[in-house]
Structure 1
Amino acid sequence: MPSYRFLVTAIDAYGHINAALGFAEGLKAAGHEVYFAHHEKHRHLAVKRGFSFIPFPKTLSVADMGQAMNYWIALCGDEIRQEPLKRYLTMSVFERESLAGSVLYFTPLNNALNDIVNDENYKFDGIVGDLTAPFPFLYKNSIPWFPLTSLNPLVLYPKGPPPSSGYSVNSDPSNWDEFREAYAKAHAKITEATNACLDAAGLPNVRYNSARFVDNPQTVGFYHYPADLDYTECEPKEPNWHRVDAWVRQPDLDTEFVIPEKLQDKPGKVIYFSLGSIGSADLVIMKKLIAILAKSPHKFIISKGPRGDELELADNMWGENYVNQVAVVQKADLVITHGGNNTFMETLYYGKPMIVIPYFYDQFDNAQRVIDKKIGFRLNPYQIDEDYLLDCIEKIFNDKEMLDRVKAISHNMRTSNSFSEAIKMIEKHIEQSKSKL
């Protein structure tokens, strides 16, 4: 099989960047040449993995996401800490307009990627992107492109519960339409704004769907979820999307994680706690959870997040604002997580049970899947019960059947050939495309 040159990119959000990097590792391992295009601040992530790096132009503004999240949570924290249906029914005009404002980044990013694709110095054979919306540059170039979705795959199952609802597949379907309507209304402005950009680009037949956050594949697209948890009971799924059981990225740092000296002589299991880059910026929730976990007989590795300097940890805890998560998860006995899909997949890949405290969007769906498949517990950020959380920790460590289920999922993810098959599918489509020239 010949070696091809790929452009790999993602929207500017760590979950999507990490997913794109993990998939790109598979392309490189198969002998292909990978160019990762993104903001200069992410160069080290590409270089560490042996990818070539293409920086976006400096004129492409980079928002201070930390400050933006702090501002958003300060203004909308009480709205965010609600169950999903109520949140979307009561979403403020400010938040709706803020979502729509993110579209200001859409056209400049599209233009930057279009310039890269058309640069004669590169001559890419394929494009792989975790972009969450249809981008005109993909449609206006002849290079084969392959979308990724690093989200919970409910977005690909129209007959399943509404994405981002956190509803069980076993829940009453008569309630689903109310959620869909509330969600659509809350996201109407961003949907209209994005579709206006597509109209302006001369693509009136290409539409953005805020409930799905994915593009329709030109040929094939790939989503990241283990076969044991996939929503087969909700089939059929959207056409041309193929599951990959695991494309978990390598750790961002080469050094092995060692349990800090502060915790080495302390009793109990090792528990990793992270609410992701967004959830951890909510100090109301972080402080409350840290106070509860301080009463546990176990020891905790804490990813403190962008406002970590404002957090005080207990004696049974060690943490930093950023930790080398993939390496930490491997040393943990349990993971308490927001349920973001990357952390969710990493936790399962390394065979760890979890407690999911979802903060927004598909995190609620992953949290409910944990319950439906009996591999952990769900605790909602708007209803944190101290006794329940501490009890869940102990129940997990004493539930051999649950631990065995998680280990079986891990084994199946590690032995699956779905990732190598995905790479072969991409190679085949590129080969067919070239044969038509």
Structure 2
Amino acid sequence: MPSYRFLVTAIDAAGHINSILGFSEGLKAAGHEVCCVHREKYRHMFVEKGFSFISFDETLWNVNLDEIKLSWLDVLADKFRKDPVKRFLTKSPNEDEAFKNRSVHYDLINQALDRIISDESVKFDAIIVDFVSPSPPLYKNPILWFPICSLNPLVLYPSGPPPFSGYSVNSDKSNWDEFRKIYREAHAKFIEAVNTDLDAAGLKEARFDPLRYVDHPQTIGFYHYPAGLDYTECGPIESNWHRVESFIRQPDSNMDFVMPEQLRDKPGKLIYFSLGSLGSADLMMLQKFIDILAKSPHKFIISKGPRGDQLKLADNMWGENFVNQLEVIQSVDLVITHGGNNTFMETLYYGKPMIVFPYFYDQFDNAQRVVDKKIGFRVNPYDLDEDYFLDCIEKVFADKEIKNRVEAISQSMRNSNTLAEAIKMIEKQIERKKHLYVKTVSV
């Protein structure tokens, strides 16, 4: 089998970066060369795994992308503390400007990517991309590209509940269209801003849909979700999308997790708590959870997030702004998470039950899937009941069926060869294109 050179990239978000890192490991195992193209701050993650790396030219930008993300969160914080419907019925101050800044974020990443792809001295056979909107550089360049959907896959099931609603597949369908309408109206300025950029790039056929957050495949695409949780009861998935049971990245080292000294003599189970790289920046929400968990008889590892220095942890806790999540998850008895798909998949892969606090977007869908499939509990931050939250922790540890279901999903993910099959499908597409090119040239 020939060896090909792949460019891999993603939007500027931790979960999506981790998804392409895991997929890259599969490509490397199949004998291919992988080069990540992204912001300099991610270089170490790929170089340490033996991949090459090309950094975006960030001198092209006159803004701080990290500040854009956090300011977007700050402007919408009150909205994100409401339930999925109520948050979209009213408009927050400066909301339109916040979403416009998010579209600027996408545009700047595309500009930097375009410069690298257009460089004729840098050659690639194919591109693996985990984006949430159409990317002009991919459309105008002849290189084959394959999208990854590292979100909850409801975005690919037209007959399922509306993505980002948190509605059960068994919920009243009369509410589904109403949510879609409210959601699209709330994102109208965001849609307009992104589509204006696409029009400016000459992509009249490519449209941004905030109820998809994934582009249509050029040939084939791949989504990341275990078979035991997939939405097969919702009818056929969109064409040309193929499920990969697992492309969880390997731990950064072979070192076992070392229990922090201050927790070694504490009683109870060990629990990991994280609201993700963005949700954890909502200090008011995170401190509220921490204060409740202080009343638990268990001990906690806390991922404090980018503003963690402003948090106050209790005596039954240890935390850092950023922790080695894979090592921690393997060592704990329970994960309390925002339900972002990357953490969600890692938790399942290592066979841990979970309690999900959905904060926004597909986190609501993963939280409800946990309930529907009886592998944990959903606790909504917008109607948080302290006693219910603490009781859910005890119920998880007392329920052997939850543990058995999660372990079955874990074994399925670990034993799957769907990533290797996906890479073979990609290889065939590359071979087919090369064959057609040779045939055309010879004619």
1:355-374 map, 5 Å: 355-374=355-374
1:367-404 CA distances to partner (integer Å, 9 max, x unpaired)?
A: 00000000000001111111111110111101001110
What is the deviation of 1:122? 2.4
Distance 1:197 1:76, change over 3 A: closer
Aligned to 2:23: 23
Distance 1:274 1:375 in 2: 18
Name the CA distance, whole Å, in 2 between partners of 1:30 and 1:190: 39
Counterparts of 1:301-380 in structure 2, within 5 Å, are: 301-380=301-380
Partner of 2:240: 240
Q: Is the 8 A contact 2:11 2:106 kept in 1?
A: no
- 2:88 pairs with 1:88: yes
Number of the residue aligned with 2:36: 36
Query: Match for residue 118 of structure 2?
Result: 118
Aligned equivalents of 1:143 and 1:339: distance in 2?
A: 34
Give the letter for the 1:80 counterpart.
F
Structure 1 CA distance for aligned equivalents of residues 105 and 260 of structure 2: 41
Q: Secondary structure of the residue that 2:273 maps to in structure 1?
A: strand
1:289 counterpart residue number:
289
Aligned to 1:176: 176
Query: Following TM superposition, by how much is the alpha carbon of 1:111 offset from its aligned partner in structure 2, in angstroms?
Result: 3.0
Contact between 1:6 and 1:34, CA under 8 Å: does it hold in 2?
yes
Code of the aligned partner of 1:238: E
Give the match's secondary structure for 2:381: coil
Preserved contact between residue 147 and residue 220 of structure 2 (Cα < 8 Å) = yes
- Identical aligned residues as a percent: 66
* Structure 2 CA distance for aligned equivalents of residues 362 and 261 of structure 1: 36
Cα deviation digits, residues 389-423 of structure 1 (max 9, x gap): 11101111010011100000000111111111111
Alignment partners' CA distance in 2, 1:333 and 1:352: 7
Q: Check whether the contact 1:337–1:356 (CA below 8 A) recurs between aligned residues.
A: yes
Alignment-derived partner of residue 130 in structure 1: 130
- Mapped partners of 2:284, 2:80: distance in 1: 12
Q: SS at 1:59's partner residue?
A: helix
The question of whether the paired residues in 1 share the 8 Å contact of 2:226 and 2:245 is answered with yes
Structure 2 counterparts to residues 199-214 of structure 1, below 5 A: 199-214=199-214
How big is the shift at 1:313?
1.2
Instruction: Find the counterpart in structure 1 of residue 104 from structure 2.
Output: 104
Aligned residue for 1:9? 9
For residue 118 of structure 1, report the CA deviation from its aligned partner.
2.6
Aligned to 2:435: 435
Displacement after TM superposition at 1:177 (Å): 1.1
Residues 96 and 186, structure 1, Cα contact 8 Å, conserved in 2: no
Structure 1 residue 266: deviation in Å?
Answer: 1.6
Of 257-266 and 2-11, more deviation after overlay is shown by: 257-266
For 2:414 and 2:253, how far apart are their aligned partners in 1?
21
Deviation at 1:105, TM superposition (A): 3.4
Report how far residue 78 of structure 1 moved. 2.2
Q: 1:39 to 1:307 in 2, by over 3 A?
A: same
- Partner SS, residue 382 of structure 1: helix
Amino acid at match of 1:177: D
Letter in 2 for 1:10: A
Matches of 1:113 and 1:67 in 2, distance apart? 20
Residues 296, 390 of structure 2: 8 Å contact kept: yes
CA distance in 2, matches of 1:41, 1:350: 27
How far the C-alpha of 1:62 sits from its partner, in A, is 7.9
How far apart in 1 are the matches of 2:339 and 2:205?
34
Report the Cα distance in structure 1 between the residues aligned to 2:14 and 2:253, rounded to whole angstroms.
Answer: 16
Indicate the larger mover: 43-52 or 107-116. 107-116
* Distance of 1:272 and 1:105 partners within structure 2: 31
For 1:194 and 1:270, the matched residues in 2 are separated by 44
Partners of 1:60 and 1:109 within 8 A in 2: no
- The AA in structure 1 aligned to 2:232 is T
For 2:338, give the aligned amino acid.
Answer: H
Q: Does 2:177 correspond to 1:142? A: no
> Which residue identity lines up with residue 239 of structure 1 in the other structure?
S
* Alignment correspondent of 2:399: 399
Mapping of 1:152-231 within 5 angstroms? 152-231=152-231
Aligned to 1:51: 51
Q: SS at the partner of 1:45?
A: helix
SS at match of 1:436: helix
CA shift at 1:22, angstroms?
A: 1.1
C-alpha distance in 1 between matches for 2:142 and 2:68: 37
* Alignment partners' CA distance in 2, 1:72 and 1:150: 22
The aligned counterpart of 2:414 is 414
* Structure 1 residues 427 and 89: alpha-carbon distance in aligned structure 2, compared to 1, 3 A threshold: same
Q: Write the letter of the residue equivalent to 1:174.
A: S
C-alpha separation in 2, matches of 1:62 and 1:340: 30
Is the 1:220–1:241 Cα contact (8 Å) retained in structure 2?
yes
TM-score, normalization by structure 1: 0.97
Kindly indicate whether the alpha-carbon contact (under 8 Å) linking 1:253 and 1:324 is maintained by their aligned counterparts in 2: no
Displacement of 1:91 in angstroms is 2.8
In structure 2, what residue type is equivalent to 1:171? S
Q: 1:63 deviation in Å? A: 5.4
Distance 1:362 1:98 in 2: 20
Deviates further, 6-15 or 244-253: 244-253
Q: Deviations over 1:125-164 (max 9, x none)?
A: 0000001111111111211110011100000001111000
SS at match of 1:302: strand
Counterparts of 1:65 and 1:407 in 2: how far apart (Å)? 39
Name the aligned partner's letter for residue 233 of structure 2. Answer: E
